[in-house]
Amino acid sequence: MEDIVYGRNAVLEALKSGKRTFNKILISKSVHPSEKINEIINISKEKGILFQFTAKENLSKYDEYNHQGIIALISPIKFIELEDFLAKEHTNSKIVMLDGIEDGQNLGAIIRTSVCAGVDAIIIPERRTCPINSTVEKASAGAINHIDIIKVNSSISAIQKLKKSDWWVIAAEAFESDNYYDIDYNNMNFVLVMGAEHAGVSKSILKLADFKIKIPMLKNFNSLNVSNALSIIIFESVRQKLISER
């Protein structure tokens, strides 16, 4: 079984991570030389990964993707077990848990933001979620190769295990009373739960949350994209961390 990864950033980051097995890399002969293409070629040579230049029309079957003239056939992302993650030592760590995200572009953007913000892992449910595919990988700009992805059968069970391990659960929901910036994120291990735009965080998860937060709006128009909402909240934790380190 292999995945298709396309686009210069996604292919380069998969190469640099060292976590994936590459079958081969196809590069269009008509692609313009660039620093990233050269880096992809150099790393492939160093690692003994097969790459070949091919006629543009040979990549036509991949035209549904915005492949930028480069396609890699590689092993799928490896998920890790929640128990293995919890077995490691964690201090002031953060996890993003996704509850019902079904759009690949959103999932990729969330992964990219999470890596930039120093999130340790992302938890996704087995069902009712977007699969990890080439769209997600491209939208993440390859960031998916730089973070642990944990897939669980039951989000409720996962939260219960996390709480037993002294992780605090923070659920983001539009109509709660507490603002996201009133939480002290830096003195705890926390899980930030984000729900889908059309449904929000499920009631069963909200019942287990230690904190329920919102992003205040100046207009009566509660319609932030979930990846944008995540960015606002998770970078508040980054801001607090940087202030505490001054």
Domain end point (choices 74, 98, 115): 74
57 in the same domain as 110: no
pLDDT score of 222 more than 70:
no
Domain boundary among 41, 74, 107: 74
> Range of 33's domain?
3-74
Average pLDDT over residues 151-159: 96
Let me know whether 108 and 221 are in one domain: yes
pLDDT computed for residue 63 by the predictor: 62
Q: Does one domain contain both 22 and 126? A: no
- Residue 75: burial class (beta carbons within 10 Å; 0-12, 13-18, 19+): middle
Q: What is the pLDDT of residue 150?
A: 97
pLDDT tens per residue across span 170-195: 999 888 889 999 999 998 999 999 99
DSSP letters, 124-184, are EESSSS----HHHHHHTTTGGGGSEEEEES-HHHHHHHHHHTTEEEEEE-TT-SEEGGGS-
Q: Which residue from 95, 94, 99, 128 is spatially nearest to 205, judged by alpha carbons?
A: 99
User: Which is it for strands 148-152 and 121-125: parallel, antiparallel or unpaired?
Assistant: parallel
Residues 13, 117 within the same domain: no
- Do residues 35 and 87 share a domain? no
| pLDDT of res. 71 | 87
pLDDT at 15 over 70: yes
Is the domain of 95 the same as that of 195? yes
Structural domains of the chain, count: 2
Cβ pair 43, 1 in contact under 8 A: no
Residue 3, both tokens: 């995945």
Final residue before a domain boundary, out of 50, 74, 98: 74
Q: What is the pLDDT of residues 59-97, one digit of tens each?
A: 777 666 677 788 899 898 899 999 999 999 999 999 999
What is the average pLDDT value for the chain, to the nearest integer?
A: 90
pLDDT tier at 6, thresholds 50, 70, 90: confident
Are 99 and 65 contained in the same domain?
A: no
Q: Is 191 exposed, middle or buried (0-12, 13-18, 19+ CB in 10 A)?
A: buried
